[in-house]
Amino acid sequence: MTLSKLALVSLCALAAALPSCSKKSAEPPRGAAVVLALDWVPEPEFGGFYAARELGAFGRQGLDVEIRGGGAGAPVVQLVAAGQVQFGIAGADEVITARARGADVVPIYATFQTSPQGIMAHAARGYKTLGEVLKSGTLAIEPGVAYSAFLKKKYGGFGATLVPYDGGVARFMTDPALAQQCFVTAEPLAAKKKGGDPQVFLVADEGYNPYAAVVIVKKSTLTDHPDWVKGFVTAAREGWTSYLATPAPTNAVMQKLNPSMDAETFASAAAAEKVLTESADTTAHGLGAMTRARWETLGNQLADLSLVLKAPPVDDYFVALP
């Protein structure tokens, strides 16, 4: 073999060993590693996804899923839209807002059929409705979030004195006049454990009920790799079915990743979220099911609140999966 031919063979071998620079081949093929980016730290709200991984459900669908924990301000939508991760977790209102701004993300699975977002007050105050809570005392809430804008418009403003929500329940435990935002699977449980008397009012009961813990992908992933999407949804349903029935094994796995939450709280949160993941739609179509009507309603609500200039066309991003 001549030197020139030997060099050519060596170059070909090197090229075969290196990953292709093309956009198409940069995406992992079926069976290769993909990433699910969470918008918060490992907690029961993600239990079914961890269960799917631990049970091998993802693997049986040809997917090797790495689950990456997030935190406050985690840019999950941006990561998915940019193609830096294949799957991500976001709120439904985030999805619509991102779509209105041109982000290429679409929802494929809605974990929570009833939003766990709520306002908790001290039961000793004797409130009968959320409207009463918002009229007096002190309210710790993020002013820029969609549900806050919805409540403000519905009740004509807040009579309560607004203060920033700083996370946790420390202030709630020491201020009997304080009400605060919460997830029904988190802060109320923490307050009860500390001897508090939280009374929770679900925002969903007020007429604002976006899907929560929604799995999103790039639209190109949905069209170019439908097997990934179908496999992920199938595995997620298996994982969530198992987790809701027997959460303890998966909770033990997540607690090692998030030791700040104790085993008792993990168990309580898992029990509290079961009813939130089920609906008439999930009974008919399986866990994670979504409807066009609910996405359309949410888009119209966000437009009415001027949080988007115009609701993006539902059919541009919503696809009913089998």
CA 108 – CA 166 distance, rounded (Å): 32
What 3-state class would DSSP assign to 144?
A: coil
The predicted structure's pLDDT at residue 7 = 37
In this predicted structure, the answer to whether residue 322 has a pLDDT above a threshold of 80 is no
**Could you tell me which residues are beta bridge partners of residue 120?**
180, 200
- Name the average pLDDT for the chain: 90
- The pTM of the full predicted model, rounded to 2 decimals, is 0.88
Reported as a single tens digit per residue, the pLDDT across 119-164 is 999 999 999 999 999 999 999 998 789 999 999 999 999 999 999 9
Backbone angles phi and psi of 278, in degrees to 5: -110, 150
Lookup result for tokens 């940069």: 26
Helix (H, G, I), strand (E, B) or coil at 163: strand
Q: What is the pLDDT of residue 73?
A: 82
What domains can be seen in the chain, in order of their start residue? 28-114+210-316 (3.40.190.10), 117-206 (3.40.190.10)
Alpha-carbon distance values, 19 to 8, 29, 83, 316 (Å): 18, 12, 17, 33
- Note the pLDDT tens digit of each residue in 27-42: 444 466 899 999 999 9
